[in-house]
Amino acid sequence: MKRKTERYPVEAANSLWQIYKTVPFWKVVKNFIVIQIARYTPFIGVKNWLYRTFLRMKVGDETAVALMVMMDVMFPERIQIGRNSIIGYNTTILAHEYLIKEYRLGDVIIGDEVMIGANTTILPGVTIGDGAIVSAGTLVHRDVPAGAFVGGNPMRVIRAGV
| Residue 1 lies inside a defined structural domain of this protein | no
| Residue 25 lies inside a defined structural domain of this protein | yes
| Residue 2 lies inside a defined structural domain of this protein | no
Per-position b or e across 91-102, b if 16+ CB within 10 A of its CB: bebbbbbbeeee
Q: What is the CATH number of the domain that holds 69?
A: 2.160.10.10
Long-range contacts formed by 75-79: CB under 8 A, 24+ apart: 75/23, 75/105, 76/31, 76/35, 76/51, 78/105, 78/106, 78/107, 78/108, 78/124, 79/107, 79/108, 79/110
Answer yes or no: is pLDDT of 28 > 90. Answer: yes
136 three-state secondary structure: coil
| Residue 118 binned pLDDT confidence (cut-offs 50, 70, 90) | very high
| Residue 35 lies inside a defined structural domain of this protein | yes
- Number of compact structural domains in the chain: 1
Query: Which positions are catalytic?
Result: 96
Whether 123 contacts 138, CB under 8 Å: no
Of the candidates 81, 72, 75, 79, the one whose C-alpha atom is nearest the C-alpha of residue 107 is 79
| Residue 68 lies inside a defined structural domain of this protein | yes
Residues 71-95 pLDDT 10s: 999 999 999 999 999 999 999 999 9
Note down the domain range covering 57. 7-159
